[in-house]
Amino acid sequence: MTIDTEALADITYGLYIVGASFGGKPNAMIANSIMQVTASPVKLAACINKDSLTHEYISKTGIFSAQAIKQGADMIFIGNYGFRTGKDYDKFAKYKYELTPNNLPAVLENTLDIFEVKVEAALDLGTHTLFAGPVISARVLARGEPLTYNYYHTVLRGKTPRGATTYKEV
């Protein structure tokens, strides 16, 4: 049986900032594989590349934040969180943020909300880990249209970084 990878483009995604902190240092990255997995209690899951600093922090602390990016975000903002590594770059130097009571970064620009998730399960998927757990807090920061992965590709002409769950060699 063959796999037509063009079919994968029809799976819908949003773009999210996923954050974590460790040792007093916050970090965040952009992920497209965030989903609500149950309603009662509300649980979210995030699929995070193992090479990322955010993955390291989530693995060490068992907690992460997730924020929907709003459609008006520009490529400079997206590039700041999606195409740089927190291992050698301060992603928070250019954009306003605050730390939640659980010490997670909440980016205050170009985001719609903030969820805090306590990891209760981690599934090793090879290059990525699927972290899942209950939402322990949620807050609306702004109203607007969430940025979809399709809009990012078709309107903003964004690229897919190598570490993304949807990356494919061209």
pLDDT class of 160 with cuts at 50, 70, 90: low
Higher pLDDT: 37 or 153? It is 37
Residue 162: predicted pLDDT: 53
Listed in sequence order, the residues at least 6 apart from 67 whose beta carbon sits closer than 8 Å to its beta carbon are 16, 17, 18, 19, 106, 107, 111, 112, 113, 114, 115, 141
Amino acid symbol at 24: G
Residue 124: predicted pLDDT: 98
Question: What is the average per-residue pLDDT within 109-131?
Answer: 97
User: Structural domain boundaries of the chain?
Assistant: 13-154
Q: Is the pLDDT of residue 117 over 90?
A: yes
Question: What is the average per-residue pLDDT within 131-149?
Answer: 95
Largest CA distance in the chain: 50
Residue 167: predicted pLDDT: 40
pLDDT tens digits, one per residue of 52-106 = 999 999 999 999 999 999 999 998 999 999 878 889 899 999 999 999 999 999 9
Select from 3.30.70.890, 3.90.78.10, 2.30.110.10, 1.10.357.10 the CATH code of 13-154.
2.30.110.10
Indicate the average pLDDT of the chain: 89
